[in-house]
Amino acid sequence: MTDGPVLRALFRAHLWLSARLLPVLVGRRDFESVLKLAPLRSPAPYRDLPWTYIVQRVNRTVRRPWFMRDRRCLREGLLGFRFLRMAGLDPELRFGVDAKSMHEP
């Protein structure tokens, strides 16, 4: 599918639905389980979309979250990683973790 209005509409609908379902999928899972939501391999149905468009749409979608307000970075990172991966790109996912939130082993 080439970049066009149909592909962009499909992408926006998929992104919107994924953003709304992400809080349910994350729930009270541990961090390792949450990271499994960001697949290392996936099909590339959005390979014809420019990466700048994908990043802009992800940022716009997470701008006013209904849920996960306190975890915006996690939400934005997972969605961005997932959709950039579906565009055939090789993104890196990085998080900063507050040392006070970590439990001693």
Spell out the SS3 assignment of 4-22.
CHHHHHHHHHHHHHHHHHH
How high is the pLDDT of residue 93? Answer: 85
pLDDT in tens, the chain (105 residues): 667 899 999 999 999 999 888 888 888 888 788 888 787 788 889 998 999 999 999 999 888 766 666 677 888 889 999 999 999 999 988 877 777 776 665
Instruction: Give the span between the Cα atoms of 72 and 59, in whole angstroms.
Output: 10
How high is the pLDDT of residue 24? Answer: 84
pTM of the model: 0.80
How high is the pLDDT of residue 14? Answer: 94
Torsion sign over Cα 69, 45, 57, 77: positive
Q: Can you count the helices (H) and strands (E) in the chain?
A: 4, 0
How high is the pLDDT of residue 65? Answer: 67
Instruction: Give the span between the Cα atoms of 78 and 84, in whole angstroms.
Output: 10
